[in-house]
Structure 1
Amino acid sequence: MSKIQVLRNLVRELRLSLPSHEKLQHSPAFTYIMEYYRKNAVTDQQYCREQEEMAYTAQTYSTYLESSRRYREIREEYHGRGERSVRETADYVGFKLPQDPQ
């Protein structure tokens, strides 16, 4: 993955992790990331080991933010409902309960 793609993924996940009313440009994390990327920018004629470390760190943070977001979504979907009845559980997994002869 190219360095610009890593940056885009990182910024996208950072945007998704912020509260809806907060602007990304005012986020200290966004400011830090952009300053760090600019500070470590190199030309094609140069090779910098720190640049590769920065790309690895950025990819790691991006993966962490994406995984955290997915975890919250899954937790809300499956854990937020509390106790389910037998009928609700059967309907959820696609089973039908036997009819009670009365």
Structure 2
Amino acid sequence: MAALSSPLRVCRGILKEIRLSQGPNYRQSLAYNYVMDQYRKNKVTGERYCRAQQEAHHASQAYLCLLTSTRNHMVLHNLYHAKGERSPEQAAGMVGLRLPTQPGGKGWEK
């Protein structure tokens, strides 16, 4: 199993994803308040070490992965899917190809 990053880094990552989705007023959102309450509630002090805190950290790491993947999916979806019908030149350009040109100068090629 891969090592988990620090809880502070995960919290900052989650708040960054909330900021990207909610806009500049993300601190007034319910998601921001919920995340901050959960991090404050599961804070580990020097006197206690519990399994629940590790489970909460693992769940927060998974939630950060979900938020990041969802945002990346929407970027790719908007880039490639919702454009309608494309010309053959545009479709070939998306995958890094070019259509061949007609040799001999027939007058109708570009």
So what's the TM-score if we normalise by structure 2? 0.80
Q: CA deviation at 1:30?
A: 0.8
Q: CA deviation at 1:83?
A: 1.1
SS in 1 for 2:59: helix
For the aligned residue pairs, the C-alpha RMSD in angstroms reads 1.7
Match of 2:19 in 1: 15
Structure index of larger Rg: 2
Aligned residues: 100
**What amino acid maps onto 1:45 in structure 2?**
E
Match of 2:34 in 1: 32
Match of 1:99 in 2: 102
So what's the TM-score if we normalise by structure 1? 0.86
For structure 2, the 5+ residue unaligned runs are none
Higher helix share: 1
Q: Runs ≥4 in structure 1, deviation > 4 angstroms?
A: none
Q: CA deviation at 1:60?
A: 1.0
The structure, 1 or 2, with the larger RCO (C-alpha pairs under 8 Å, 6+ apart) is 1
Deviations 1:11-59 (A, max 9, x none): 11111122x3x51111101101111111111213320111111111111
Distance 1:71 1:55 in 2: 24
For structure 1, the 5+ residue unaligned runs are none
Match of 1:73 in 2: 75
